[in-house]
Amino acid sequence: MRNSAASRPDSQADPRPRILLDCDPGLDDAIAILVAAHHGELVGITTVNGNVGIDYTTRNALTTTQIANIDVPVHRGAAQPLIAPLMNAARIHGPTGLGAVELPELNRSATPGSAAAYISETARPSTIFIWWRSVHSPTWPWRCATTRNWSVTWPVSP
């Protein structure tokens, strides 16, 4: 993978779009992380509860970045949706959200601090903020914790 924004000096401009990915890493979002890092300047990942719990989605983001040697901060975000009850689709996506894949031991950990604060500090007009779950269905945002990372960012943003 190309060097990330976190490991490259500011003097080296990258013509690719800056991407901040807010997602609930399972199989589809692991692919989204890889695509974002390959085709854009992935500046960070914030995780949320989704098909499996926040501990698994955060671990999945860390595992994906570790295996692909993507050096970006991963912030653990919202553990539950704003409005709807918590859902769990482990029966479909496997207990970790990545099917029956045996995952390696992690040699990295989530970056300390609030995902919402990280979004506020990092997102700027030149950054593409991808609210990944909003594309699945019109009602999904109200059932998914991604809405929480995004909505709690508004009060802390200028």
Sign of torsion over alpha carbons 79, 4, 100, 103: negative
How far, in Å, CA of 15 to CA of 3, rounded? 13
10 Å Cβ neighbour count for 122? 17
Q: Which of 24, 29, 55, 71 does the annotation list as catalytic? A: 24
Closest CA to 51 of 88, 81, 96: 88
- Residue 28 a catalytic site member: no
CA 41 from centre of chain: 14
Question: Could you give the angle at the alpha carbon of 82 between the alpha carbons of 78 and 85, nearest 5°?
Answer: 100
Active site residues: 24
